[in-house]
């Protein structure tokens, strides 16, 4: 592979819990699949990990109607957390991840605190080494966002998941708040080892055509993602970094090498690539190789050396 320089270790200094990644590049939840769906496009070893589709207790069919709506420099999605449910994931998807030695974050979501507790227990029982807790999905009618925007609720939710799960705990934060520092602090105090941010922004897509002497109209409300949200993501990551000491996995509009450098300066320790996967299926491997080549060419001994240079020089 020749990507040894990209080895990344996310560490909660307070508890010494760690997550070791082959590279700092992670496929974001909802854009990759459950396990090996992208292996025809890329070498999966280029990933630090993949974050699975969001998994709930029961199987979900998702939302009716249009689920993806293209907007300028981005997408609005309202998938509605369609997924196979935790039982089918453990039975059908997890064996493939293990067989193919794919590192992954199990992304989980729920409608109640009890849902999250049950999912945490199942993850613990099945030796899943990293959870990414979705508390911030803007396109489902119940759960997720309700927890994700209230610091007290978020603290309590994180604390209860932590009580039932010993692995590396990541909480995915919403940008749809006026004070992301308070949310980040609640997560850290609740026992999370890492924060991933940002989830999608609330957005409305409108299409109007004038055909046959009448206006044809379509509107789609859901989560906005893509390069259009990068400035917001950079701001939010920087705000989170000012509030907490635990690692941050950054996401939001990443599509090229320089984006990684910008997010490092904002406070990121690793990256998730989301919407760009739909446009360039090989983007995660391309970014890993580009980053590696840059580090070799410019004599950076490892990823920590590169981060230090960006932050301190």
Catalytic positions are: 137
Query: What's the rounded Cα separation, in Å, for the pair 293 and 257?
Result: 11
For residues 8 and 303, is the Cβ–Cβ distance under 8 A? yes
**Helix and strand counts by DSSP (H, E) for the chain:** 11, 14
The CB density around residue 192, as the number of other CB atoms within 10 Å, is: 28
For residues 87 and 58, is the Cβ–Cβ distance under 8 A? no
Site of tokens 């493939």 = 96
Query: What's the rounded Cα separation, in Å, for the pair 75 and 200?
Result: 10
**Helix 257-266 and helix 230-243, axial crossing angle in degrees, nearest 10:** 30
Residue 13 is inside which H or E element, if any? none
Chain-centre distance for alpha carbon 284: 14
Instruction: Provide the phi-psi class of 174: left if phi over 0, else alpha when psi is between -120 and 50, else beta.
Output: beta
DSSP for 27-71, written as a single string: EPTTSS-SSSTTTTTS-GGG-SEEEPPPB-SS-B---SS--EEEE
The CB density around residue 284, as the number of other CB atoms within 10 Å, is: 31
């Amino acid at each position: 592979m020749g990507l040894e320089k990209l080895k990344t270790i996310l560490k909660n200094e307070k508890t010494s819990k760690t997550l070791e990644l082959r590279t700092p590049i992670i496929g974001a939840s909802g854009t990759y699949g459950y396990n090996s769906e992208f292996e025809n496009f890329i070498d999966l070893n280029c990933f630090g990990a993949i974050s699975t589709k969001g998994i709930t207790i029961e199987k979900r069919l998702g939302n009716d109607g249009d689920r993806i709506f293209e907007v300028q420099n981005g997408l609005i999605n309202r998938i509605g957390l369609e997924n196979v449910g935790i039982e089918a994931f453990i039975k059908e998807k997890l064996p493939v991840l293990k067989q193919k030695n794919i590192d992954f974050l199990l992304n989980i979501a729920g409608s109640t605190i009890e849902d999250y507790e049950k999912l945490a227990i199942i993850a613990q029982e099945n030796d899943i080494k990293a959870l990414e807790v979705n508390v911030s999905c803007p396109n489902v009618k119940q759960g997720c966002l309700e927890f994700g925007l209230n610091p007290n609720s978020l603290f309590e939710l994180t604390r209860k998941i932590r009580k039932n799960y010993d692995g590396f705990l990541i909480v995915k934060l919403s940008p749809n708040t006026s004070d992301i520092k308070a949310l980040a602090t609640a997560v850290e105090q609740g026992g999370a080892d890492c924060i991933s941010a940002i989830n999608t922004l609330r957005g409305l897509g409108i299409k109007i055509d004038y055909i046959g002497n009448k206006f044809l109209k379509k509107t789609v409300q859901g989560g906005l993602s893509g390069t259009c949200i990068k400035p917001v993501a950079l701001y939010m990551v920087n705000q989170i970094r000012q509030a907490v000491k635990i690692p941050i996995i950054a996401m939001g509009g990443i599509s090229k090498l320089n984006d990684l450098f910008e997010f490092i300066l904002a406070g990121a320790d690793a990256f998730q690539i989301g919407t760009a996967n739909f446009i360039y299926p090989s983007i995660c491997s391309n970014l890993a190789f580009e980053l590696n080549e840059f580090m070799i060419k410019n004599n950076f001994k490892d990823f920590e050396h590169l981060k230090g240079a960006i932050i301190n020089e």
